[in-house]
Amino acid sequence: MDHFNPVETWERDRLQALQLERLQETADRLFEKVPFFRRKLEEAGFKPGDVKSLEDLEKLPFTTKDDLRDNYPFGLFAVPMRDIVRIHASSGTTGKPTVVGYTAQDIQVWADLVARAIVVAGGSQDDVVHVAYGYGLFTGGLGLHYGAEKLGATALPMSGGNTKRQVRMMVDFGSTILCCTPSYALNIAEVMNELGVERGEIKLKSAILGAEPWSNEMRDEIERVLEISAHDIYGLSEVVGPGVSIECVEKKGLHVFEDSFIPEIIDPGTGKVLPPGESGELVFTNINKEGLALLRYRTRDISKLIKEACPCGRTHYRMERITGRTDDMLIIRGVNVFPSQVEMVLMQIPGLAPHYQLVVDRIDNLDILEVQVEVSPETFSDEIKRLEDLERKIRDEVQSYLGVSVKVRLMEPRSIGRSEGKAVRAVDKRRI
Ligand code: DLL
């Protein structure tokens, strides 16, 4: 099967006709099969057959993470359990996990989407796909794995962790595409260096990185240290897992697979749909899923939609890389701060390593944001005066970008914990 699906370059009219047909089918089916959706749809004044155009989407009710939790574990499934062939779950930081289920058909559709995603990022059947996302209830490992196999590439089911072994296998098996979180990619690069593995010993040419926010500057760093092309892949368990959107070789936003999901951007405060180009909360509606299909799922991720066709020829809307989550936002003395903004500033200052953590505390009723960042080994041996200058520079630049004063703590190389999956960028002691 050719995994450059022509649907990706369809004229918008044709695509929208497909979306409408699928949206109508999904809304009607959820009304029939899932009491929760029936109630919500009725409250919004909808009965089967009422979705007449894509504009009606705006009138449909949202689904939230709390709705999934309230119906834990399987309450929103639209098929009997005997038709569910796979369960995944995302642990989240608080409360019950979010549980999702797939039919055999859903697994096929998902594998196909991920196969397409690998192709969008420049991969092919000739690639050896090193999957270092965790295997398990997390969707990353199995998601990329099935996609790589579906494409006909060679899947290496490494899972996360045991980094030295990852490097050894990468050398021995000739991995060409690395799939993991951006923070883990840096960890692997560092271990590769420590093991004295030369660039010529590995065949890596690109990486498909996601599952956590990362900045363009972090991408530059990863591309520099690994000498590869790094592509941002986005997804979430509730919607399908990885494979909702991905960057093509142009790297100007992530192509949303709009034949399977309809994206919207809303104002997180009012719930109103925002015009193109405005930043807000991403919302997705599943239009090609049987087991669990969500209407207008509020992701809490912040992005923008780009509606112009991409120079690569694809016509599906793109989303800008995620700048943060509505629930990741730190409010420091009234100022909204996203870890990715701090990352962007840090990554532009020479002498620092790409490892940092933000620690927030409240001392004498005042919020204190401490930016802990590792210095590079060369900088570490500098004289105190130079380190003090560096500290001041970081403080000034972060402060002028964020508009809030911060404390800076330079850390020894390798003193900040390395991630093997999703990195923890902020520790908020005010909530502990
Ligand atoms: O992280 C699915 C995934 C696996 C995506 C592998 C990409 C690669 P969850 O564990 O349910 O699913 O977490 C979903 O992770 O709402 C975002 O906040 C964040 N996230 C995922 N991809 C990106 C990305 C997987 N490329 C949550 N950039 C989402 C920023 C991302 N954040």
Task: Give tens-digit pLDDT for 267-292.
Answer: 999 999 999 899 999 999 999 999 99
Mean pLDDT for all residues in the chain: 96
Task: Give tens-digit pLDDT for 85-141.
Answer: 999 999 766 678 999 999 999 999 999 999 999 999 999 999 999 999 999 999 999
User: In the predicted model, what is the mean pLDDT of residues 59-86?
Assistant: 97
* Geometric angle at alpha carbon 219, from 135 and 419, rounded to 5°: 40
pLDDT of res. 431: 72
CA-closest residue to ligand 1 atom 27: 236
Is the pLDDT confidence value at 1 over 60? no
Residue among 88, 212, 329 whose CB has most ligand 1 atoms within 8 A, to mutate? 212
Q: Residues 6 or more apart from 405 whose CB is under 8 A from it?
A: 395, 399
Q: How far apart are CA 28 and CA 329, in angstroms?
A: 37
Q: How far apart are CA 26 and CA 286, in angstroms?
A: 8
140 within ligand 1 shell (Cβ under 6 A): yes
CA-closest residue to ligand 1 atom 28: 213
- Angle between helix 216-226 and helix 339-346 axes, rounded to 10 deg: 50
User: In the predicted model, what is the mean pLDDT of residues 295-319?
Assistant: 96
Is the pLDDT confidence value at 189 over 70? yes
Catalogue all structural domains in the chain, each as residue range(s) with its CATH number.
Answer: 1-326 (3.40.50.12780), 330-431 (3.30.300.30)
Q: Relative to the CA of 138, which ligand 1 atom is closest?
A: 10
Between 198 and 95, residue with greater pLDDT? 198
Instruction: At 226, list the tokens.
Output: 């690994």
Residue among 234, 237, 239, 341 whose CB has most ligand 1 atoms within 8 A, to mutate? 234
Is the pLDDT confidence value at 2 over 90? no
pLDDT of res. 173: 98
Task: Give tens-digit pLDDT for 335-355.
Answer: 999 999 999 999 999 999 999
